[in-house]
Structure 1
Amino acid sequence: MTQPQQHEPTRWTRERLLAISSSYQKACVLTAAADLDLFAQIGSDAVTAESLAESAHLDARAVAVILDALTAIGLLERTGCEYRNHPDVAASLTHDGPGGVRAIVRHHGSCMRRWAQLAHVARTGHCAERVPSVRGPEADHESFILAMDNVNAPIAPMVLDDLEPLAGTCLLDVGGGSGTWMKAFLERHPQATGMIFDLPEVIPMAQTRMDNTGLSERVRCVAGNYLTDPIPSGSDLALLSAVIHQNSRAQIRTLFANVAGALNPGGRILIRDVIMKPDRIEPEYGALFAVNMLVSTAGGGTYTFDEISDDLTEAGFKGIEVAREDTNMNSVVSAHI
């Protein structure tokens, strides 16, 4: 009989513990540089700290310290007193377009400002105060929406591949953001149409994306709150991509019921999110993401398949199954009405 594999217990040395507690340092330098847009201002040029501080209207001492730190961790290169972007940085941290990660790095900065309040959240039972970046709250929200595109655009085709065949003539993308998943779906299904339903401040970004990708004639962008406003009806396939973790169980039941009421008879729902094991410590990604929801929302979290299944059943869905399993946000639960 094969013996179960034994794993060596983790040995938490002083050095490993301190490596975790000091890991904020590199992250803070990177996110500050992204918020100040230093990488884009350097561009393809070689600049001195003094000239960059002057052109960006920043403190010269602070800029010199930040540029040296960025050089020390390898994001910049320095010759004499002149700094250049590392080639990889120039390709990814100077823009928010395809291949760019500037928006998600900026969003991580917003997350860190909330995570830093975790002990206070534990004492008060209230989510963290939203402290804006130097760019302001509206720019932070735009970065969040763009960040979701940074993350999802490369993986959406792969996830949809695993879910085919996706029978449906009209996709309802609830909380669809700027339309990343809608774009990927419609490019795969040229005869299909779609509806993006999201908050009023998000819909202009979705409409712009649909216009710029030539899909606006096939997509209707509708503003509303999925918990309190009527969800547009007439679809046979609904997608909730990275939506349920923002909500409490009670809110999720309301959301599922609202989607069920909007779907055509026999319509299918796809829920893309992290799915926790019953012990709630696996996957590790989900256990840590639950902390993100603790500091960011009044009742959000990460959920097990049984919890998701129970809430779908209460809303009238059946045939509930895990259509795709992953260790991060790309697991998918499927059901039909």
Structure 2
Amino acid sequence: MTSTEELAAGTPVSPGQLIKMTIADCSAKVLQSAVRLGVFSVLADGPADAASVAEAAGLHPRLATDFLDALAALGLLERDGDSYRNAAIADAYLVQGRSGYLGGFVELTDQTLYETWNRLTDALRTGEPQRLDPDKGGFFGDKHTDPERMKRFLSGLDAFSDRMGTELADRIDWSAYRSFVDVGGARGNLAAVLVQTHPHLAASCFDLERTRPLFTEHVGRLGLTDRISFAGGDFFADPVPAADVLVLGHILHGFDDEKRKSLLRKIFDSVNPGGRVLIYDRMIDDDRSDPDRLLSSLHMRLVSETGSEYRAADCQAWLREAGFTSTSAEPFLDTHTLVIGTK
């Protein structure tokens, strides 16, 4: 029986789902505070009691026990009496310094997401994008004018690009290809994962020229300056470097359909014969019923003038229109879709 039928029959409808939605941000804030305070890193070496965790993480005794128990109830910690230890998911992704660390992304959302989404009602009424700093442009302000701010921003994104790079390295048969370009590749983190996994690949990052110093520093620290090059430019105004494979991750969702089609025509010209383009985004499911993907699309509309997510079927149609002879789409890391076009 549906909720509407229950109402018609006089059956009480529980408001539980509504209440959970209303306070959903509380759980996220508990996670974000735990990351900022280093709770999971404190427990990296093993269990500790509440007092020890509170002292090491700087938690006030009045809130510490409820806070730690809330983390346990959320599945991020495990509690045995007064002793706490990291749950498996926290141990894998929330201990600072470990290769799978996603804390940078958690902090990034804490800094950017909530203030912007607090303006959703205004956006729905006006249709205007909501920026944290309208005078400087962009939903996170002009990060490029503040190198340290940009490093923190990219550090948060590195958590994603590590996972994306690892998945692409394993998912794609790279043996037939010798080169790739990460379009909008920022400071080269995804490229680094790919060349470390497949040493035969020659890599290049294509991004705005102002990103070059950040790329040089990061790739130099990884010891990969001889493996990954940087090409500065605007992919709408300048030629896109040619390669066997071009990667567009989280790029197309920033533009409207006409700009997407225009960019894919340029991408087609830059893909070597027999090569591929790999596109990943949180694409909308065909029947538009997945709430996470729809919220992601709404987020793009909230923070940009023309951006949104899009259906995989639409992306494949744009690729065929651009000249790619075959296309495919497949799930990617549970939350994304990977579309492949072959030239």
User: How high is the TM-score relative to the length of structure 2?
Assistant: 0.75
**In 2 relative to 1, CA 158–38 (structure 1 residues): closer, same or farther, beyond 3 Å?**
closer
Q: State the Cα deviation string for residues 170-228 of structure 1 (Å, max 9, x = none).
A: 10110123333312322343222011112345443433343233322121112333223
Report the AA paired with residue 177 of structure 1. Answer: A
Partner SS for 1:71? helix
Report the AA paired with residue 68 of structure 2. Answer: T
Mapping of 1:178-327 within 5 angstroms? 178-231=187-240, 233-281=241-289, 283-314=290-321, 316-326=322-332
- Greater CA drift, 158-167 or 107-116: 158-167
| Correspondence for 2:10 | none
What is the rounded CA distance, in whole Å, between the counterparts of 1:204 and 1:98 in structure 2? 23
The answer (yes or no) to whether the contact 2:320–2:327 under 8 Å persists in 1 is no
Partner SS for 1:227? coil
| Correspondence for 1:332 | 338
Q: State the Cα deviation string for residues 101-144 of structure 1 (Å, max 9, x = none).
A: 221111221122212221111111111222699xx976554344
Partner SS for 2:341? strand
**In 2 relative to 1, CA 183–276 (structure 1 residues): closer, same or farther, beyond 3 Å?**
same
| Correspondence for 1:4 | none
Mapping of 1:1-337 within 5 angstroms? 13-32=14-33, 34-35=35-36, 46=52, 52=58, 67=64, 70-74=67-71, 86-87=85-86, 92-93=93-94, 95=96, 97-109=98-110, 110-130=112-132, 141-165=150-174, 167-231=176-240, 233-281=241-289, 283-314=290-321, 316-326=322-332, 328-337=334-343
Partner SS for 1:19? helix
Partner SS for 1:128? coil
The answer (yes or no) to whether the contact 1:317–1:336 under 8 Å persists in 2 is no
What is the rounded CA distance, in whole Å, between the counterparts of 1:180 and 1:329 in structure 2? 20
The answer (yes or no) to whether the contact 1:245–1:301 under 8 Å persists in 2 is yes
What is the rounded CA distance, in whole Å, between the counterparts of 1:155 and 1:267 in structure 2? 20
Report the AA paired with residue 98 of structure 1. Answer: S
What is the rounded CA distance, in whole Å, between the counterparts of 2:288 and 2:197 in structure 1? 35
Provide the alpha-carbon RMSD of the alignment. Answer: 3.7
What is the rounded CA distance, in whole Å, between the counterparts of 2:259 and 2:37 in structure 1? 37
Q: Determine what percentage of the aligned residue pairs are the same residue.
A: 21
The answer (yes or no) to whether the contact 2:44–2:86 under 8 Å persists in 1 is no
What is the rounded CA distance, in whole Å, between the counterparts of 1:31 and 1:234 in structure 2? 41
Partner SS for 1:318? coil
The answer (yes or no) to whether the contact 1:163–1:323 under 8 Å persists in 2 is no
The answer (yes or no) to whether the contact 1:285–1:327 under 8 Å persists in 2 is no
What is the rounded CA distance, in whole Å, between the counterparts of 1:286 and 1:86 in structure 2? 33
Partner SS for 1:73? helix
What is the rounded CA distance, in whole Å, between the counterparts of 1:201 and 1:208 in structure 2? 13
What is the rounded CA distance, in whole Å, between the counterparts of 1:40 and 1:50 in structure 2? 10
Report the AA paired with residue 146 of structure 1. Answer: S
Residue 9 (structure 1) shift: 5.0
The answer (yes or no) to whether the contact 1:49–1:67 under 8 Å persists in 2 is no
Residue 257 (structure 1) shift: 2.5
